[in-house]
Amino acid sequence: MTSLTPPPCPDCSTVTERIEVEGEGEEVWRCTAPDCTRRTYGTGDETDDQDLPPYSETDADGAVVCFHGTGEVDFEATAELAAQDGPDDEDQADDPLPAPAAVVWEPEVREIRVQELAHVLAGGWVRIYSDPPEGWRHFTEAAYDPDHDTTVAITYSDGEVVREWPWPQALVVHAGPDTIPTTTRPGPARLTRR
């Protein structure tokens, strides 16, 4: 049965478009928002969408990305597929490995000392353990010379430069300023749009 009106996306309420699902013959809708990959049967019942078949797509870099039926990236299946498609040992000597595709993997939150921020290239998000604890702030660079400095100079994306002691623990994740991590411990960043 074909629906006359496209259902809204269950995640962002954007209008959806009907898509053909290979070998299924079922009515499936996909969100039309550029940053949303959500799929739905459009019934309004979230439990129905859990039965959507998984699928894969090729990203701009040519890497195959696996998705759960609802449109969330299946990191485990994507990594397994990438490992299967890796070059043979004989090919490794001749051909250098291509750079991994950006955007495929969710950034990982790592625990470091504040002084190690000076070694993070291209900035990211930092959450410094302090009293009271600070939230996530996006930084563009950090400078620390243990022979000359007693504090780490952190430049945040809003232009503010803050000096912090080098030894407290911090969480750091490589991600752009258009997203923000929601986690408070090491592991997947669970980024959300700002």
Q: What is the pLDDT of residues 29-62, one digit of tens each?
A: 888 888 788 888 888 777 888 888 888 888 777 7
In the prediction, which pLDDT does 103 show? 42
DSSP string, 126-173: EEE--SSPP--EEEEEEE--TTT-SSEEEEETTS-EEEE-SSSEEEEE
This prediction has a pTM of 0.46
- Give the mean pLDDT of 3-24: 78
Q: Which residues of 148-180 are buried (b: 16+ CB within 10 A; e: fewer)?
A: eeeebbbebeeeeeeebebeeebbbbebeeebb
pLDDT tier at 98, thresholds 50, 70, 90: low
Q: Which amino acid is at 19?
A: I
Q: What percent of the chain has pLDDT over 90?
A: 19
In the prediction, which pLDDT does 77 show? 78
Q: What is the pLDDT of residues 124-162, one digit of tens each?
A: 999 998 767 678 999 999 999 888 889 999 999 999 999
**Could you give the C-alpha distances from 181 to 8, 106, 125, in angstroms and in order?**
26, 11, 8
Averaged pLDDT of the chain? 80
Q: Is the pLDDT of residue 22 over 80?
A: no
Alpha helices in the chain (DSSP H): 46-49, 75-84, 89-94
